[in-house]
A = this chain, B = another copy of it.
């Protein structure tokens, strides 16, 4: 189980016929909170200046829900409809009309307002959405909601594009005396370097990544939004496969409020509220869910055979460290060196030097795994490091630690290697 592990959710998937492979391509997650007024939802989207129609609609939904929450009105979502095979992006106004037609079909079948349904799409850019195929598939999809726990893995698979494995998370924690459950599914392998529109993101970042998180926590939409933005900035914003943020990156969290904690509306007395220890616990759990999904995405990056994390410390600011991390994690030369287990560490130091941030090379040191290779601006003798370095580079995950001075700024990002398979996936298999 994943998204149906928390109380109050159902999920389903089916085949609408959008993927050339003929595999399942349509998924539905439904929040069935008994008391609709305790449900809430939060969303973050790509910062790409080009956005798919589902992101345009999602942003409108988010604004409406936050406004309703501020007025102490019910502010939850009933359903998220997700398709793979077509991103419905760069499709003009027709794309928005198409996405709304699909939402309307779901709303009619579930008996809810269209405003309680959010669409989400991934796949080829710039092709009209095949609306009839989706609308025709909705009745079967809604019928399949009765399928039970099996439905989760079907949904996680249906949203995949070039992913090799389905990505799911399931966890629970005791918060405020109640067991709070979390579930999630995500997809993402290429066009991955999310820069989500949270208040906490780095100045820049990039991929199509979709993630859908459910929880039965009782929390209002405003507080859930804050928690999701924090969690995204600490997880999805810190991975990059190819430094190309997608026009469709989306993370949606839905809370059913079914975890217990008494009655009450979205602003009810028993809700987990910002500023409390319980809220901090929920934020930590939500971040752990997002970190887990982000890790699954980077491990399944297109063509990836190993991963690495660049940790930068001693910078003038966190923003400076983040800018340097971006350069290292996205340098094709660094990625190829990781792929080839090449101890050519000068690529790492010079990549950091390309962030438009000055630092004193005389106070710069680099450690690869447990091996110091560069200290206070000078290289350590190769004879001392070479064998140990090759050993460190043979690991499936490599930790790089770069200290660039004595400032308090720090940041980290996780990336994957660049292999011939990445080129094959993105060049040879033409769409």
What is the CB-to-nearest-CB distance from A125 to chain B, in angstroms, rounded to a whole number? Answer: 2
Complex: how many Å from CA A379 to CA B53? 14
Q: How many copies does the complex hold?
A: 2
Q: Is the CB of A427 within 8 A of B342?
A: yes
Are B350 and A247 in contact, with the CB atoms below 8 A?
yes
Tell me the minimal C-beta distance from A321 to chain B in angstroms: 13
A374 touches B126 (CB 8 A): yes
Residue of B nearest to A404 (CB): B49
Q: Which residue of B lies closest to A328 (CB)?
A: B244
Total chain A interface residues with beta-carbon distance under 8 A: 80
A356 and B343 alpha carbons, distance in the complex (Å): 34
Measured in the bound complex, the distance between the Cα atoms of B355 and A49 in whole Å is 8
Q: How far is the CA of A87 from the CA of B350 in the complex (A)?
A: 12
Name the residue in A94, A126, A430 with the highest tally of chain B Cβ atoms < 10 Å from its Cβ: A126
Complex CA distance for A336 and B356, rounded to whole angstroms: 27
Known: A347-B244, A423-B336. A361 touches B50 (CB 8 A): yes
Can you offer 22 A-B residue contacts whose CB atoms are under 8 A?
A49-B358, A50-B352, A50-B364, A89-B346, A90-B346, A90-B350, A92-B376, A190-B333, A191-B333, A242-B332, A243-B332, A244-B331, A244-B332, A246-B350, A332-B422, A332-B426, A340-B428, A341-B430, A342-B431, A343-B430, A418-B423, A418-B427
Q: Besides A50-B349, A244-B354, 15 other CB < 8 A contacts? A: A50-B361, A92-B377, A125-B344, A125-B346, A127-B382, A191-B347, A206-B354, A332-B332, A341-B430, A342-B430, A344-B431, A417-B427, A418-B427, A419-B423, A420-B423
Residues of A that sit less than 8 Å from B by CB: 47-51, 87, 89-94, 124-128, 190-191, 195, 203-204, 206, 242-247, 330-334, 336-337, 339-347, 349-359, 361-362, 364, 373-374, 376-379, 382, 417-420, 422-431
